[in-house]
Every structure is written in structure tokens, then in C-alpha cells.
Amino acid sequence: MSPTLGDALEAMAGFPEMEPSDFVRRGLLVIAPHPDDESLGCGGLISDCRAAGLPVSILIISDGAGSHPGSVLFPPPVLAKLRQQEAIEAAAALSVGPSHVHFAGLPDRHVPMTGREAEQACDRIATLAAAADVVAVTWRHDPHGDHKASFALARAAARRVPGATLWEYPIWGLTLPPQLPLPGARPHGVRVRVANHLPAKRRAIAAHASQTTALIVDDPKGFRLTPDMLARFDTDWETFMECPL
């Protein structure tokens, strides 16, 4: 019988706990499909690495312009600019300066896995990964095309970088039905303790106001993170699954 999401979640709950200093030794690269994924899935780890003086780079893959397609006040170019600024402010809450926040600018909802733009993104990931021993990207089973594409790009890039390790952090996969079959074996990984950095993580998430509040008032069907979804990430640990290269 194929493993299910419930099996994966059970495995995650049993991952060994680890201190951030034992997880990241040299540097961290966080790859986020959209502005906010980095704060949700890795905000505590980012903050801890910076407190320890370790270098952290964040690469946002998509422009984030697709979250409110019905808005007239925030058409795609305006929304993309807003979300970029929110990402910079969120990173600042985690003690990451703007020069270490990078934007691939690929189209939200249409991040490619192949072609010239995908190859350019792989090159950029590989360049940034050279300064990191841990590269973190969204889980391959997250039910969003941009998340799957970001994982594929990160894995292709990490294979080019000697000494890099690739880890997956779950976002939307946590919302899937437990009985959903998942291809592959049960995951292996760690739960990194981040309790001391929850205040910084909360500030970072709140900086993404276009995704967490009613800031955009003219698109009632636009995307918004619900309190229940946010609560999934307001925990004393963050989950990372090992991805063999």
C-alpha cells in the first residue's frame, strides 16, 4: 500500500528535535515560491542563524502578483512591488538585510520547471547556495504548482553545488486530506527548535500584510492566510525533510 499524507505527518511528528546551531553550520539559503513562504516555514530558523552570526540569503522565486487577480487598486505590477517590499520588511524582522533578499521575478502561478527562465533561476540558486551548507525549499508534495516548480529548480541547482544539502519545508501540504496517497517512502528529517525566535517570526509574518489582513479591499475572493493556517506555523519548532541529491 502506498504511504499517505497521514503517514507523512505521523513521520514528521516523530522527527528528532535539533538545535538550529546543530542544523546549520556555515550558512543558510531559503528558497520561497512566494513572498511569505520564507517567513511561514523558516522564519524561526532564519532568525536564529542571524543571531548566531551565520549568513542567510533568501530567494523569492515568483513575483507574487497573482494573489489578488480581481483587484483594481492593486493591479499585478503594483501588487508585485508591494509584495517585494513586504518581503524586505519581513526579512528585516528576522535580521536579514535587503542586500540578502533576492527576487527571481518569475510569474506567480506560472513558475516554469524548464526553459530559459528556469535555467536562469537554477544558476542563481546555485550561486547563492555556494555560501550555504543548508538549502531549504518548499516540500515537493505541496499542492501548488509554484511550490512544486521551486522544489524542482532547487534540487537541480543543489546537485551542482558540492557540499550543499537540500531540505524541504511543508506549507500547503499540511492542509491535504490525511488519506491522500503520496508517492515515495515516508520522509526523514528533523524538527528544529525555534521557540526563542517566535516573536521575530510573528513580526515577519505580519509584515506580509497583503496576505494576512484586509489590506486589499476590492477583491473579496483574493488570497488571505486564515488564522487556522497561520496557527500551523506558530509552534516551537520548524520541520525540515531531507532530500537526497
Tens of pLDDT, residues 41-67: 999 999 999 999 999 999 999 999 999
Q: What is the mean pLDDT of residues 102-115?
A: 97
pLDDT confidence of residue 1:
64
Question: 2 pLDDT exceeds 80?
Answer: no
Question: 184 pLDDT exceeds 90?
Answer: no
Buried b (16+ CB within 10 A) or exposed e, 68-91: bbebeebebeebbebbbebbbbbb
Which residue's entry shows cell 556555515?
A: 26
* DSSP per-residue string spanning 18-69: E-HHHH-SS-EEEEESSTTHHHHHHHHHHHHHHHTT--EEEEEEE--TTS-T
Q: d(Cα 34, Cα 113) in Å, to the nearest integer?
A: 15
Average pLDDT, the chain: 97
- How do residues 160-183 score in pLDDT, each as one tens digit? 999 999 999 999 999 999 999 998
- How do residues 74-93 score in pLDDT, each as one tens digit? 999 999 999 999 999 999 99
- How do residues 117-134 score in pLDDT, each as one tens digit? 999 999 999 999 999 999
Question: 241 pLDDT exceeds 70?
Answer: yes
Q: What is the mean pLDDT of residues 191-206?
A: 98
pLDDT confidence of residue 185:
86
Q: d(Cα 40, Cα 229) in Å, to the nearest integer?
A: 10
Q: The dihedral of CA 45, 46, 50, 51: what is its sign?
A: negative
Domains and CATH numbers, the chain: 5-243 (3.40.50.10320)
Inter-residue contact 202 to 234 (CB < 8 Å): yes
Q: What is the mean pLDDT of residues 221-241?
A: 97
